[in-house]
Homo-oligomer: A and B are copies of this chain.
Amino acid sequence: MLPAAILLSLACGAAHADEGMWMPSQLPQLSKQLKAAGFKGNPADLADLTRYPMSAVVSLGGCTASFVSPQGLVVTNHHCALGAIQLNSTAERNLIEDGFNAATMADEPSAGPAARIWVTVGFDSVTDRILADAKGKTGRAYFDAVDAAKKVAVAACEQDAGHRCSVADMYYGREFYLIKQFEVRDVRLVYAPPRSIGNYGDEIDNFMWPRHTGDFSFYRAYVGKDGKPAAYSKDNVPYAPPAHLTVSTAPVKAGDFAMVAGYPGTTFRHRTASEFANQIDWLLPTRVEVVGGLIDTIQAATKGDKAKEVLYASTVAGQKNTLKRAQGELDGLRRSDAVRVRREDEAAMLAWLAKQPNAAALQADIRAMQAQLDAAQASRERDFILPFLRPGLLGQAIVLQRLALERGKPDAQRESGYQQRDEATIEGGLKQLQRRYDPEVEKATLLFALDRYFALPAAQRVPEFDAVFGKDKAMAAAMLNTLYIETKLGDEANRLALMKADPKAVAASADPMMKAAAVLQPALLRMEDEAKQRSGELLRLRPAYMQALIGYRNSQGKAVYPDANSTLRVSYGKISPLSPRDGMDYRPLTTVAGIVEKNTGVEPFDAPKPLLEAIAKGDFGSTIDPTLKTQTVDFMTNLDTTGGNSGSPVLDANGKLIGLNFDSNWEAVSASWMFDPRYKRAIHVDMRYLRWLLAKVYPAPQLLKEMNLSAE
């Protein structure tokens, strides 16, 4: 953590001009700020989802993309199209390694039956409708009333065939919007660079700057001849989008205005000071400690046994990734002194609220909300460790018992995750375990987690867990030995049989692992219900907190964006350098010189020969940077992004496409909780690099022509 003396001399993160994932509908209010930042268009146009540029910005589900031609050409990240590229690869023709370039539309293969492009066509406030029936209710009943109203709204909206609808919760239950999306179901692969361009640097450069990745690919949207969404068919025709982005041919440089539109996933910026403190002072350090210990436990239990090491390699890799993320987030939030900053901000808000007329009702709700959060924190040790007590085989026994319970209900009433449509996924998990399970290693991980469980205060112990695992570690070791020796669930056929068996027979199974799961089930159901009660209360009470926050910010002349929730958002800012630490600066643009510097010839730094030759030749044509006198590759902005923004178009002051967002810098891992303008940057492919590759390196003149771009 930086000392106070230094922190005070730096800008505070809480209210910086470049922070904000704005709903397009909010942008007209921000007209003055947008103009001041350099935007040259009409901010009102940005609010209209049926017009340029917003109608060109689409969701792929987890990624963002945009239309760039009247024939439904779509550009997104290489890593967003990777599944489709892999799907079309064969032993003879490895499209991941070699890239792909469809000579004509007839050569564009399907991106797969599950591929979708969603074009947002409607975004309407439905708050009153959603909350009408919930008013006066509390807890679980409040939650269920909101849920039911959402389902009614979605069903009505989806009467319009070819559309997918959803209700988005903005400001934590304060406002609800009905989002309507045109659903393209025939998506085809058009162009992908080789992996050694599209994923140059891979995991080593992931989150890193300076970056030299050409992370882009092209899709095309197809619809039936009637213009309606249709599954893949040779008879389908390219979709004519409501608008498509114009690719800029002007250079970009540090300080230029930039704007990103996309579908960011989840942020926690407006959580309370107590939630910040819980995350930073307890949850993240605990995660670092426990996940670190779990990794050590698995490695000790598999050491020297190649077969076991292979069984757990993927689990260990996943946990290491979790650990790295948690440590990065923790370091970042501490560096930003986030607990203190958020605490002081909240205290100021509450002080302001106390001076407002009619504050009492809001204050009462905020107190009630805080009581719910306090109650949740009181059992945090228990709630954190219990998921570690249902690993691998035991975890599947628990799933099988729950599935048996749910199978006794009509499908619509089954718990989400246990409906008929989920059964294929469950079956896949039951089969996959065979490649990821060893009884000795699983016992070791259970004993590791039980150490922490047994240390819980008596009031937090769960009788059903005590019944299964015993009272202390010695008992647990003995009971686990018996459990894992006697169970027949390690046999895949037995697990699969239990999936289909009569629910009552499953509940009464004599297999000791299934019996253990049956014992645990009431506890798990009870805690699940408690969590839903709490969610309902928070859904009911948080709007008071948000109303106070919005009022307080408005009193300072500032608008408030809702935390990200995978809906269309816009952030504006500028192309921006970064000083990641004392004595170092990152320039905001990288050049092809860096590709050569990093190149070792060994994956992931194995730039393809045609690229290296083209760099050496230095023929950069119309895409050369006029100041740097060479070809740029990636650039960096201070735009506010998060996971889900991958593939998002980056626009210039005139709304023209200058880049594709594809990553953040490591210093910004903590930005899901706090936007610190000193460290938050977004990383983009420069469209000039894309244009140069298409013009000179892996030529696709037909695409340049389709986008009205020069091939010189």
Contact = CB atoms under 8 A, between A and B. Distances in A.
A664 to B, nearest CB: 16
B587 A586 contact: no
A590 to B, nearest CB: 4
A584 B584 contact: yes
Interface in A200-259: 209-212
A618 B210 CA distance: 33
A2 interface: yes
From A5, A211, A596, residue with most partner B Cβ within 10 Å: A5
A5 B618 contact: yes
Given A6-B596, A9-B629, A615-B5, A585 B585 contact: yes
Of all A-B residue pairs in the complex, the 7 with the closest CB atoms, nearest first, are A210-B583, A582-B594, A3-B616, A5-B618, A583-B590, A585-B585, A582-B593
B596 A2 contact: yes
Contacts of A593: 2, 6, 582
Interface residue SS majority, chain A: mixed
Contacts of A629: 9
A335 to B, nearest CB: 8
Interface in A612-649: 612, 615-618, 629-630
B5 A616 contact: yes
A612 to B, nearest CB: 8
Contact of A210 (B209, B582, B586, B597): B582
A64 interface: no
Interface in A378-405: none
A4 B4 CA distance: 49
A612 B4 CA distance: 12
A581 B615 CA distance: 16
Contacts of A584: 210, 584-587
27 contacts: A2-B596, A2-B597, A3-B615, A3-B616, A5-B615, A5-B617, A5-B618, A6-B593, A6-B596, A6-B615, A9-B630, A209-B583, A210-B583, A581-B594, A581-B597, A582-B591, A582-B593, A582-B594, A582-B597, A583-B587, A583-B590, A583-B591, A584-B584, A584-B585, A584-B587, A585-B585, A585-B587
Contacts of A630: 6, 9
A589 interface: yes
A581 B209 CA distance: 11
